[in-house]
Chain A
Amino acid sequence: MGKLILLDARLFVAGADLSGASNKIEVEASVEDKETTNYRSGGAVERLGGLFEAELTGAGQWEAGDPSLVDDNQWATLMSRAVAPWTLCPTDATVGALAYLTAALESEYKLLDEVGEVAPWEGSAKSSWPMPRGQIAHPPGTARTTSGSGTALQVGTVPAGKHMYAALHVLSASGTTPSLTARVESDDAVGFPSATTRATFTAATARGGQILRVAGPVTDDWWRFAWTISGTTPSFLFAAALGIA
């Protein structure tokens, strides 16, 4: 990916796609700086990397009146006082696109401005888990009405001490008693001849978000999302992302 002008960045928070309401999407990641300088440091400061933390920020044009809109989403996320999945993409959310994902606690939400201005919003969240630099595993615009599986992605093996992180953003659900149970599968070959289910999300019957992680070691290097859908004329839109950290 070369230099680019930001036009198609994506932001998913819990069960909402906030991309069209956002004109700023930002990730600020940091590692604590822990000094270990001693008399044998050769006259230079020595450091160890401490705890990781990321601050995620979105801002743009305020809308309200539906759970898919930014005010409903951000207010509910803030008031829940619970971590929610955040997934951010620099260039759209096609399968394989670069994605940063984490579980984050919404810590601040600002809205409204001076008379005559386009009503703005700004929200920020602080990470509560590591933040993998991963990939989109399922695109948000493809409706699913039957059970199936997604594209195989060679995300990589998971060493001991690391995890595979999986974020699921259910953006819409329709039909009679619709239910979507998504799972993360791995295999050692692209065709998934012997898929292993590594984790299963809680069944989703409405808009919402989940994030979970699978502890390593996992020697399989191919991964994909799969799903079971039930109900009468069910249809789901969902975005999913995978990454190792």
Chain B
Amino acid sequence: MTGQRFDRDLSVLLQELGDRPMPEYRHRIVERAGGMRQRPAWTFPSRWLPKELVMDIPMTALRPIAAPTRRLGLVLAVAALILVLLVLALGAGRRTTPPFGVARNGQLIYVANGDVLVRGTPTSPARALVSSPERETFAYFDRGGERFVFFRETTADDFDVWMGDADGSDVHRLAGPFHDMQWWDWSTDGSAFAMEVLDASEISRVVIVPTDGSAARTLPMLAQSPVWRPGHPDQLLVRTHVDGAWRLAIVDPATGTITRRLDLPVSRQFDLMHPSWSPTGDRLVFDSQASDEIPSWRIHVARIADDGSVVSQTPLEFDPDAVAEGYAAFMPDGVNLLYAPHYDSGNEIRIGRADGVGGSRRLGPADTGEGLLYEISPDGTTVEVVSYARMRSWTVDVASGETTDLELGPDLPASWQRRAP
């Protein structure tokens, strides 16, 4: 072949090489798809980002890293579940489960094939907690480990919120229907469950669903990412749009009013994302863009006073070669951060000190798919990771890095019940 022909006809030659008969196996594909369920739209983390951003970000950067109480948006994020201390004054000798910080690992709860299942350990046999003709999706224990909330689909995108006791009894409907959940968090005392959902105009709203059966209420502002502040049951942090920019603000959940706007610098549309509190509620970790490139997030840790004022803010960069570092959550010890960086070569889960000292190390295998979800065990010894691209999940021992494959299915990660130490 001449160089001239190569330059001129490469496309034509490839068309000829790739020109094959209509595949007969297409009928098998269609038949197999007929037996497969589609993933509900709300399970895609990309849903929380504007369409134009989704189109411009490589999918691997958009994968949800689901924190135990986090959004199901584009990019991966799974933050550790920060549990509030529940004080049960029922008599001497009863141990209470701290709602945040280190606790003992209880059962794992997860959803598979439309049912809510539990396991004693990641690899022990499963038993159904809720099994019905309807399709259950998403399930999460409260911070005291006494009850769990789950969703029951009403349509492909809509769902009702249900609740039951940890042993599967007293299952009852709380509220709904809601549409397209993006983020969630249990209140510090288990009295309410906050969610970011989309309203009929696809606008993000934060809804607070009381667990006593009283009416759910929607915060009267555009809001995202609700996270209750440990040790401050009257402080619900949200990301909201005010004065022309997205900001983090503390809301009184009882009245729905902003009591404090966090004085954190914001300059780009996707700053102040994925907030997560430390177990003691004195620090807040979040992501802000490092440049106009998308994604370019870097992690920031801010010290927040009791009244919500910002004491200090420290940017972290564990690895300058990472395309983005974000979706961080404090480990139960409050010392380390788990986070999910994105590299040209793929995605990882890594752990490093929250003060940035000493760099970070990878936990488990890197993944070249579309991002990873993670959940942190209450005792901080184990991280569960899900790769949607590979439809696999595994646990990682934090100390040794040893991984164990799980067979929980490709849905959201299982999450642990917190038990008293």
Do A and B assemble together?
A: no
Chain A residues at the B interface, C-beta cutoff of 8 Å: none
